[in-house]
Structure 1
Amino acid sequence: MKEPVSITSIASISALGTTPEEIWEQYLNDNHSIAEKQFDQTSALVAELPSSLKKEIKKLKGSDTKYKKLDDSVLYAIYVSREAVKEAGWNSNDDFGVNIGSSRGATRLFEKYHQEFLKNNKTATLASPTTTLGNIASWVAHDLQTKGPEISHSITCSTALHALLNGVAWIQAGLTDKFLVGGSEASLTDFTIAQMNAMKIYSKQKTSYPCRAFDLEKKKNTMVLGEGASSICLERGNSPKAIAKIEGIGYATEILEHNISISAEAECFQRSMKMALEGVDPKEVDAIVMHAPGTIQGDLSEYKAISSVFCNKIPFLTTNKWKLGHTFGASGLLSLELAIFMLQKQQTIAVPFAMKQHPPKKINKILVNAVGFGGNAVSVLLSK
């Protein structure tokens, strides 16, 4: 990277809550937030937002007549973006850019409008504008009254970290000094659950830990869906307000051999991690927040990639999907939030059922990984 980029704030909503205090408290225990939920056509293990947060989202929806027709994925993004910008001390005069992505987008609304079409052979006037992917960043920019560029995209489960890449690129190109980036996912619907079940990767384990993310000995796939969103504020250089700094970014895409899998050695992760570590001794990395979705191949291939890059000096490894589920497009920034907490608190968070590791004495640098269907990997190196 030409120069460091500072993270001056982060805000999130997930099954763990929304305030830094309650989220960190949840990380300090060995409990998870996964429970069985009854849908219209089925039941499934999922990680929902707490009821208190759902009330906040409902309040947001009713606060403006224009917001009443928006999908939860948009409302989640608005909610966390307001919090992030407020914490960073930004205002509309800053004209910052906005890049908010989502893997699924307006899932619930799309399913609702499609059912209406099948039943009545017509649909509502707002069916198209409220289900286009671009309406996430557009509504966030409208809500915050910024006149900077607005970008929406979907790069499956690495969407949020790709938004971070875009923000860094705009800043380093000298086009802007500030960028708001994030990911939002409200995918707990019948059709989405059905899609995951069809791929035979969804957890059926009604055990103490339904999602066995980073359990390299598991014999069954154990992915569990969660919902949530996160936004972060990026600023050029070493800001005195920084809560963490981005020292390196890496990305890679594998040639597709299968629609949903990456190679056995996760070559995309090997390349993205090496790029993020350019000019940095791998021994300086104290921890890695893995993507680790809870699938047999996904977890093991990422571990093999880490072993290849770091050889016999593997950093402390962790993940949060066993706790808050896989939030698809939002997951990368929720992992980055965990990394920031560990840097701030100087404390690692272990996966209770995973292999035992020795925590580092000090935590100065953490690598965060994300990858989506098709092997589109991103790695981000953070420092204090």
Structure 2
Amino acid sequence: MLKEPISITAISSISSLGNSSEEIWNSYLDDNHYLSQITIGEQNVWGSTVSNKIRLDIENLRESDSKYRELDDSVLFAMYSARHVVSDAGWDEHTDFGINIGSSRGATSLFEKYHEEFLREGKSSTLSSPTTTLGNISSWVAHDLKSKGPDISHSITCSTALHALLNGVAWIQSGMADKFLIGGSEAPLTPFTIAQMQALKIYSEDTGEFPCRAFDLEKKQNTMVLGEAAAMACLEKGKKNSTLALIEGIGFATEPLEHNVSISADALCFQQSMKMALGDLHPDEVDAIVMHAPGTVKGDLSEFKAIEKVFCNKTPFLTTNKWKVGHTFGASGMLSVEMAILMLQYQQVIKVPKIAYNTIPNTIQRIIINAVGFGGNAVSILLKKTNSL
């Protein structure tokens, strides 16, 4: 548990679900998924893309400044979402805040383009290095927002966004900052990225009603689907009138790997991260968990077993958004935080199709959000409802 609560005072995202809280909530209430068949390279695969309207906004942003024209979508997605979230929080260029935005893959599209040019021409383009470095996202967001605080980038694969939240909490608790912009951005729908997931034999080839069967523990094949997205949140010290939810606890853990890409059968890292996030709080006080649940057979089952071990005979309501929006890698954890905040706000849970739920909570006061990446780096965040919602 934290020494004192830290507020999430604004959250904003772009994904196939939309780009406003109202639109995104309505998308969650819809029983349909937001995945589609898209052409990547020379093949058709399932994927989750931003809408044509959002794509037009991104292209307008790209053309608004000559320096932005050579930036990867992952950077532009982050800039677009960051503009919206700081506006919602009432921050401006006179507000002192830090930035920590991460990405699992970063500038994949640009990197593949520049590498293709190198193989063809035997030399590299001038901007190939500065536009594909890991620090590219936070640095450009800081430039765009004219922020004066620290700007940090990192990659811890699929738990990247929640690690950004951990960093923001650490800076605020240390007294080195009062406000932090945190999040993740990902534009992974590229030929090589898809090929990597297919090589792992985890990409969905399911042609049924739901291509990504996240949290369906009865599935016999892997059904992960990739999606593009960015999600940002504003953190502030203490409780504010604008508080959307309070960060009551944080947890993290890394376990010894049994395999290069997987966690143990009962996800020891998740057990440790959830227990750390709970602190002295009794597990019965948690009403729901937004699972990582990427749609893989082993990944979904191991997380479920970890939850069973931590919560014993009273498992909270379990849900995930990846059946609907796909796996957005480094942005996924913050999309899950957004989903949790919306459930707290509207006091309504979002069910996963074809899952038999025994009980539905009458009220939702606390939600845990889980994320984990290749390497067994798990993060769990405990959010608490506020009276202002």
Structure 2 length-normalised TM: 0.98
Residue 69 of structure 2 aligns to a residue in which SS? helix
Could you give the per-residue CA deviations for residues 286-306 of structure 1, whole angstroms, max 9, x where no partner exists? 000000000000000000000
Residue 142 of structure 2 aligns to a residue in which SS? helix
Residue 33 of structure 1 aligns to a residue in which SS? coil
Residue 93 of structure 1 aligns to a residue in which SS? coil
Distance 1:173 1:20 in 2: 31
* Corresponding residue for residue 300 of structure 1: 301
Gap runs ≥5 in structure 1: none
Contact 2:257/2:264 (8 A) holds in 1:
no
* Corresponding residue for residue 258 of structure 2: 257
Q: Which amino acid aligns with 2:336?
A: S
* Corresponding residue for residue 94 of structure 2: 93
1:8 aligns to 2:9 (yes or no):
yes
Distance 1:256 1:210 in 2: 29
Residue 361 of structure 1 aligns to a residue in which SS? coil
Distance 2:140 2:73 in 1: 12
Contact 2:263/2:376 (8 A) holds in 1:
yes
Give runs of ≥4 in structure 1 deviating > 2 Å. none
Distance 2:40 2:319 in 1: 31
Could you give the per-residue CA deviations for residues 236-256 of structure 1, whole angstroms, max 9, x where no partner exists? 011111010000000000112
Contact 2:15/2:50 (8 A) holds in 1:
yes
Distance 1:355 1:344 in 2: 24
Taking the TM superposition and a 5 Å limit, the aligned residue runs for 1:59-74 are 59-74=60-75
* Corresponding residue for residue 159 of structure 2: 158
Could you give the per-residue CA deviations for residues 273-324 of structure 1, whole angstroms, max 9, x where no partner exists? 0000002111010000000000000000000000000000000000000000
Identity, in percent, stands at 65
1:282 aligns to 2:283 (yes or no):
yes
Gap runs ≥5 in structure 2: none
Residue 94 of structure 1 aligns to a residue in which SS? coil
* Corresponding residue for residue 32 of structure 2: 31
Contact 1:215/1:355 (8 A) holds in 2:
no
Distance 2:313 2:296 in 1: 25
Count, aligned residues: 384
Q: Which amino acid aligns with 1:103?
A: S
* Corresponding residue for residue 148 of structure 1: 149
Q: Which amino acid aligns with 2:263?
A: I
* Corresponding residue for residue 218 of structure 1: 219
Residue 379 of structure 1 aligns to a residue in which SS? strand
Distance 1:21 1:84 in 2: 15
Taking the TM superposition and a 5 Å limit, the aligned residue runs for 1:336-351 are 336-351=337-352
Distance 1:124 1:374 in 2: 33
Q: Which amino acid aligns with 2:205?
A: K
Distance 1:356 1:170 in 2: 39
Deviation, 1:357, is 3.3
Residue 122 of structure 1 aligns to a residue in which SS? coil
Distance 1:71 1:52 in 2: 18
CA RMSD of aligned residues (A): 0.6
Distance 1:222 1:94 in 2: 43
Contact 1:34/1:45 (8 A) holds in 2:
yes
Deviation, 1:257, is 2.1
* Corresponding residue for residue 268 of structure 1: 269
Deviation, 1:258, is 1.2
Structure 1 length-normalised TM: 0.99
Distance 2:14 2:30 in 1: 18
Deviation, 1:355, is 2.7
Distance 2:252 2:350 in 1: 25
Q: Which amino acid aligns with 1:213?
A: A
Residue 323 of structure 1 aligns to a residue in which SS? helix
1:364 aligns to 2:327 (yes or no):
no
1:245 aligns to 2:246 (yes or no):
yes
Residue 37 of structure 2 aligns to a residue in which SS? strand
Deviation, 1:4, is 0.3
Distance 2:263 2:191 in 1: 26
Deviation, 1:358, is 1.6
Contact 2:293/2:300 (8 A) holds in 1:
yes
Could you give the per-residue CA deviations for residues 322-364 of structure 1, whole angstroms, max 9, x where no partner exists? 0000000000000010000000000000001123232100000
Could you give the per-residue CA deviations for residues 163-221 of structure 1, whole angstroms, max 9, x where no partner exists? 00000000000001000000000010010110000000010011110000000110010
Contact 2:33/2:323 (8 A) holds in 1:
yes
Distance 1:123 1:374 in 2: 31
